[in-house]
Amino acid sequence: MFRTMVIGLLMILPGLSKAQVSNTSSPYSFSGVGQLNYQGFAAQRAAGYIGRTTRDKGTFSFTNPASYSALEFADMEFSASYNSVVQSSELQNRTYTNGTFDYIALGLPVIEGKLGLTIGLVPYSNAGYLLSEDVVEDSNNIEYIYEGAGAINRIYVGAGMEVLKGLSVGVNVGYDFGNIRRSKDKRYENTSDIFSFQDINETKYRGVGIDGGVQYSVQGNGGLTTVFGASASFGRNLNAENHQIFRTYNSLGNFIVDTLIDITYAKQALKIPLGYGLALQTGKSEKWGFGFEYAAQEWSTFEDISGIIGFNDMSSYSAGGFFQWLSPTIDRATLGKLEGFVKTLRISAGVRYEKGYMQFNDQEIEEFGISFGLGIPMLKKITLASGKVPVVSMLNLTAEWIQRGTTDNELIQEDLIRISVGLNFNDKWFIKRKFQ
């Protein structure tokens, strides 16, 4: 059955990879490569975005490819989210909603608990905004309109291996691709005597990059395990091909008058800077865990094609954990009773703070988030030569509140509610059959 799912994943990845629909409505995706997405699963979002210390036989984290080495079951991961955001300024409030695809990934144990391979598709960044400003120039009413949409996606393959007892290393090779379209209109209202202007820039991005990670786990007394995790994105060159159209149009008749520029410029190499993260987690395997994580990326070295705004080094701090009563001895009779079902739930929570990589009006954009999640187990038992073995998959429900930006200095504050539904589906990859 799981081999059928693998074939299905390989068939749908090309179709998903062509989707360039924006997953954001944020003005803070105005420049650069847009708004960056968290590279983790729903269960890791629920625990405060902590993923670099994930070591589990039934799941993994592509924020640290060393985690692949812990896999003992084949694992399919998928998530989608619903977002509701209120944007507040000194003048008005607006509300937007959208649905998003978060990721799809597959992990396979080559040597159980020693060597694992993964493949997946994840949105790297998104751009999606519509901003307007009304001004009066020389007795003319003018509306400036700024609009953007698009995404950069990432397809990756990775491997993780335990090289010494307790020490694992891993690597991802990713291919980034996507288009982002940004436009600026200078629209003269209520007149046909003066032509309006529209400047459209569509940029096609392509690039290959490598990420690496390491994990070291120490077994303590009473089943206590401490995991140290570190990972780095070694930077990558994104080839950016920009197509510009500059034209005039009649705002009343809504028709194009003349196209003054229609040109595709030579490709530019955008250097995505070095990023790294450190994390520490302690806990008792499948019972509970609590950890901290720090991540940073040197965006102050980034040079955007537009050159409109400045960039600063990005950093984030996270703390979170989980608790569950889940036991490998649970059975369907236990899950069938309300009291037994509740005792199998996995509860997660976390907080985080982030300083973003863009500056607006010379002000850094900060973000604060609180997350909470429930993991609902789905039990399956398979028969091996050693007997029946329970395989526990998870339906992960995650709720987040995120506040980004400020209303000071003519900026916009965003209050976002995100509800994510993630599926963690485990099964055995190969089962050796015996005939008598």
CATH number at residue 95: 2.40.160.60
Q: pLDDT category, 39, cuts 50, 70, 90?
A: confident
Q: Is 237 exposed, middle or buried (0-12, 13-18, 19+ CB in 10 A)?
A: middle
Residue 433, in any domain of the structure: no
Q: Quick one: pLDDT at residue 267?
A: 87
Tell me the residue range of the domain where 387 lies: 2-427
> Given this model, what pLDDT does residue 194 score?
85
Please indicate, yes or no, if residue 435 is contained in any of the structural domains. Answer: no
Q: Does pLDDT of 282 surpass 90?
A: yes
Q: How confident is the model at residue 20 (pLDDT cuts 50, 70, 90)?
A: very low
- Whether residue 335 is contained in a domain is answered as yes
Q: Looking up tokens 């803070």, which residue turns up? A: 28
Q: Residue 436 domain-assigned?
A: no
User: Which segment of 11-25, 244-258, 314-328, 361-375 scores lowest on mean pLDDT?
Assistant: 11-25
Q: What total number of domains does the chain contain?
A: 1
What is this structure's pTM? 0.86
Residue 355 in any domain: the answer is yes
How far apart, in Å, are the Cα atoms of 306 and each of 40, 202, 243? 30, 11, 12
211 belongs to a structural domain: yes
434 lies in some domain: no
What are the CB-based long-range contacts (under 8 Å, 24+) for 161-168? Answer: 161/69, 161/114, 161/115, 161/116, 162/69, 162/113, 162/114, 162/115, 166/216, 166/217, 166/218, 166/219, 167/214, 167/215, 167/216, 168/55, 168/66, 168/67, 168/69, 168/70, 168/214, 168/215, 168/216
- 432 occurs within a structural domain: no
Question: CA angle, corner 232, sides to 226 and 235, nearest 5?
Answer: 170
> Among 160-164, 178-182, 267-271, 381-385, whose mean pLDDT is lowest?
381-385
